[in-house]
Amino acid sequence: MARCVSDPDKRRQAIWQVVHAIPVGRVCTYGDVALLAGLPGRARLVGRVLSELPPDSALPWYRVISASGRIAFAPESEAFVRQRQHLQQESLAIAPTGRLTGWPDCRWQG
DNA sequence: CTCCTGACTCCAC
DNA sequence: TGTGGAGCCAGGA
């Protein structure tokens, strides 16, 4: 889909597109999203873009987790709980440590 | 332009 | 399985 994008707006859109493409009940790592967006090695950029999403965003940001298969937030933090609830709605279980049960079986890489 | 920070990763112990 | 350290890129002060 996307090659090496240089414009900030283009990068955002590329990342949004990839996140939006993640199937229900599946998850993807920051690194994978970056790769699929044509931005290899820019996992941090993905996290930055997602952190700037508005509260009413329809983007399934909660389907993006860290490469270790865990939620990127501190356990029991507000954001952590929100993400966990969204994932549970899609039949994905989260261990107390934040680790996704069944990982990497539910992993999606395009 | 330099310095600091972060929703990241990888590797070693 | 969990921790700690180094590498990385982008954005804001």
Each residue of A12-68: pLDDT tens digit?
Answer: 999 999 999 999 999 999 999 999 999 999 999 999 999 999 988 999 999 999 999
Which stretch of DSSP H or E encloses residue A89? helix A78-89
Q: Which of residues 2-31 of A touch strand C (CB under 7 A)?
A: 8, 11
CB-strand contact A96/C, under 7 Å: no
Q: CA–C1' distance A82–C2 (Å)?
A: 24
Quote the pTM value: 0.93
